[in-house]
Amino acid sequence: MSQPEQGNGRTPATPVSGVDDGEHRRLAPRPLDRPAVDPSLTAAFGRPQGVDTAFDARRPPLNGQVPMAPPPPEALSTAFGRPVGGDDLKLQRPPGADHAVDPDIDPVFWDGKPAGDPWRDPGSGAVIGPPAVGEKSSGPSSAKAAPGPQLSVPELLFGRRVKPVGLVLLLVAALLVGTAGGLVGWFFGRAGNPLTDGGVTLAEVKPAKERPVGSVSDIANRTTPGVVSIEFKGSNVAGVGSGVVIDGEGYILTNDHVVAPAVQDASAKLTVVFTDGKRAVARIVGRDSKTDLAVIKVEVTNPTVIQFGNSDDLEVGDSVIAIGSPLSLSNTVTQGIVSALNRPVTAAGENGGPQVTYDAIQTDAAINPGNSGGALVDSSGALVGINSSIQTQTGNSVGLGFAISGNYARKISEALIQTGEVKHADMNVNARSASAETAEGAQVQNVPAGGAAAAAGIVEGDVITRVGDRMVRNAAELTVAVREHEIGETVPVVLARQGRELTLQVTLKSD
């Protein structure tokens, strides 16, 4: 017991157990503050009646023994139990004691030095670090944050960096695998189908193409039934030509040289063969040897008739289609263009007959022997010409074919159907082609007395260069230029005589 201190005017402290105040003086314990307890809480949480301690002495132990708690799990015992081999019953080891350390347990990472992680060091101070948010600056910040790194293609595709070499190798490997798979599939596909062996090439098949209105196929389907084959056969002659049905009564327009052999041989017979195979015997209605046109007739019902078009509307370059029976091949269709217009064509007459002269449509559509008398139709399917002759040195087509103008053929056919013959306007002169350094035309060789030329004052030696509105460049063109006019019509004729140009009015007469 400590002695009471002297001279400080204080009553000596009562010697009781207490707390040292740092000057080796003992302080009295503080008085207990026992607040009043709520009766409801006492009833809920207080000791049962008759129990004064923390243990109920009235409850006898089971089997004379105090029940013990079950042993803790091994994991908890290992983590929180007493050290292995220790007999110390205290949970806390006294400081400075030499304790056996389990070699399997790692020592603390700070090992007597200040810990890097204050949350793990029980001796660290209460203040861990500065506030999470610093003081706000008084003014706006002028510095802008630098943009972060952007993802490259490998990082975007694969989520991490990939070396370019690795990416290239990956692509090469993928190509090799795909190529190998394709070759294997191709090999098995070829091996499984005998139709696709290496020695067979199959044509590419596409959906059926359309045949719009105005196509060659469409025109041929509509006009071919109106074109017929004409067969003539006798004891001395035989051949095949073509014709065009121009009237529902069975009238067929063709060339005169197609039917001429049947006229010369009394035993010959003309037979018309239609596209559907029907055959009919034909009779000659009329012939015009000077223009190489003729009309025949068959007795049929409801034939397909081709409609006439306006051949004057044709221009060079227009598409045309030739239909006929070249080389005895019926229902043949060839396509081309108009190569020239108003081309005078002259040919020798049949068996010494009069010379054939007509104004022709020149075309490069293939025309061969047997096409004669067939149809030349335009892009609408209308008849614009009657195929008549070709210019050739081999006997076959070389791309120079001639057809009689459709308008002129229509005029001649109507006259033949009505009267059986045709009369043409004529100037009654004989002429030959002539050319000079300054002009060309038809030079008059003979002027029969009583003719239209003699009455107009045309004399031998005159060179005719124009008839009406048409220029004359040769003798054949003089003939076709005169035939464009009607019998009895007065036409201005321009001619050159002894270096002078004259214009005479000529009243045309019949041939």
Task: Return all residues near 432 (Cβ < 8 A) that are at least 6 apart.
Answer: 442, 443, 445, 475
Residue type at position 324: G
The DSSP letter of residue 488 is T
**Catalytic option among 229, 242, 311, 372:** 372
**Residue written as tokens 């015009």?**
288
List 231's β-bridge partners, or say none: 240, 271
Buried/exposed 54-89: b ≥16 CB within 10 Å, e otherwise: eeeeeeeeeeeeeeeeeeeeeeeeeeeeeeeeeeee
**Residue written as tokens 């009069």?**
354
The reply to whether the predicted model has a pTM over 0.85 is no
Q: Which two tokens stand for residue 196?
A: 């696709």
Identical fold, 311-418 and 425-510: no
- Radius of gyration over every alpha carbon of the chain, rounded to an integer in angstroms: 64
User: For this structure, is 292 an active site residue?
Assistant: yes
- Which of these, 403, 424, 417, lies nearest to 295 by C-alpha position? 417
**Catalytic option among 229, 242, 288, 292:** 292
3-state secondary structure of 253: strand
Q: What is the largest CA-CA distance in the chain?
A: 193
Q: Which two tokens stand for residue 189?
A: 């596909």
Query: According to CATH, what is the number of the domain 311-418?
Result: 2.40.10.10
User: For this structure, is 372 an active site residue?
Assistant: yes
Q: Where exactly are the structural domains of the chain?
A: 216-297, 311-418, 425-510
**Catalytic option among 257, 339, 389, 413:** 257
* Pairing label, strands 401-405, 500-507: unpaired
Length of the chain, please?
511
- Which of these, 355, 164, 156, 328, lies nearest to 233 by C-alpha position? 328
Residue type at position 38: D
The DSSP letter of residue 350 is G
Q: What is the dihedral of CA 254, 255, 257, 258, to 10 degrees?
A: -30
pLDDT tens track, the chain, 511 positions: 444 444 444 444 444 445 555 666 666 777 777 788 888 888 888 877 777 777 666 666 555 566 677 888 888 887 787 766 655 555 555 655 555 555 555 555 555 555 556 666 666 655 555 655 555 555 555 556 677 677 666 666 666 666 777 778 888 999 999 999 988 888 777 665 555 555 555 566 666 666 777 788 888 888 999 999 998 888 777 888 999 999 888 899 999 988 888 888 878 888 899 988 899 999 999 998 888 899 999 998 888 889 898 988 999 999 999 999 988 888 899 999 999 998 888 887 776 667 888 889 999 998 888 888 999 999 888 999 999 888 876 777 787 889 999 999 999 999 999 888 888 888 888 888 887 666 688 888 888 888 888 888 888 888 898 998 888 888 888 889 998 888 988 999 998 888 888 899 999 988 7
Residue type at position 152: S
**Would you state the CATH architecture of domain 216-297?**
Beta Barrel (2.40)
Can you name the CATH fold of 425-510? Pdz3 Domain (2.30.42)
List 433's β-bridge partners, or say none: 442
